[in-house]
């Protein structure tokens, strides 16, 4: 399955969850439920994955944590806030660059409509 196919499943699951649970819950709740839904669809899901930083040939594990990584190809950063900022978008792009992955989604479950809370980010070009 390629990144775009995974992305379509991610968006479908996020919309389904948002419709059932609504906006405003804790990010950790959406993370758990989204991981469950994606796994039900047969996808490998890793939660709270360390994104290390390399500096002078030293690996620092203290760097960042990606909320979800799906099929080792797509990074998901979840929020439950009123408004996404450029800093949130840059955070996702940084995760993509550090991991070498090509596709990520910033999913803000705090929006009234989930379609308004989805930001798709590409690192380089998708194959």
| Owning domain of residue 66 | 3-122
Is residue 107 assigned to a domain?
yes
The C-alpha atoms of residue 109 and residue 21 are separated, in whole angstroms, by: 10
Cα angle 75, 81, 89 (rounded to 5 degrees) comes to 40
Identify the residue whose tokens are 């939660």: 47
3-state SS assignment for residue 85: coil
Q: 16-20, 50-54, 106-110: lowest mean pLDDT where?
A: 50-54
Does a structural domain hold residue 43? yes
pLDDT (average), residues 72-98:
94
pLDDT at 20 over 80: yes
What is the pLDDT averaged over residues 40-51? 95
Q: Which residue has the higher pLDDT, 127 or 32?
A: 32
pLDDT score of 53: 86
Of 38, 48, 50, nearest to 6 (Cα)? 38
Percent of the chain with pLDDT over 70: 99
Residue 127, pLDDT score: 65
Q: With 70 as the cut, is the pLDDT of residue 93 above it? A: yes
Note whether 79 and 105 are within 8 A (CB): no
Beta strand pairing status for 45-55 and 118-122?
Answer: unpaired
List beta partners, residue 79.
Answer: 108
User: How many domains does the chain contain in total?
Assistant: 1
**Residue 127: inside a domain:** no
Query: What's residue 62's pLDDT?
Result: 74
Q: Looking at the domain assignment, is residue 60 inside a domain?
A: yes
CATH number at residue 31: 3.40.1350
pLDDT given for residue 52 in this prediction: 86
Residue 63 has pLDDT above 80, yes or no: no
Query: In this structure, are residues 88 and 118 in contact, taking their beta carbons and an 8 Å threshold?
Result: no
Q: What's the mean per-residue pLDDT of the chain?
A: 94
Q: How many CB atoms lie within 10 A of CB 98?
A: 17
């Amino acid at each position: 399955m390629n990144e775009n196919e995974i992305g379509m499943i991610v968006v479908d699951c996020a919309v389904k969850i948002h419709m059932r649970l609504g906006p405003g819950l804790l990010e950790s709740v959406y993370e758990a439920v989204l991981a469950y839904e994606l796994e039900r669809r047969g996808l490998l899901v890793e939660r709270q994955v360390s994104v290390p930083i390399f500096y002078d040939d030293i690996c620092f594990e203290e760097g960042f944590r990606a909320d979800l990584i799906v099929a080792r190809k797509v990074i998901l950063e979840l929020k439950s806030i009123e408004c996404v900022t450029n800093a949130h978008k840059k955070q996702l792009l940084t995760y993509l660059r550090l991991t070498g992955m090509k596709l990520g989604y910033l999913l803000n479950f705090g929006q009234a409509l989930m379609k308004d809370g989805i930001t798709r980010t590409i690192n380089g070009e998708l194959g």
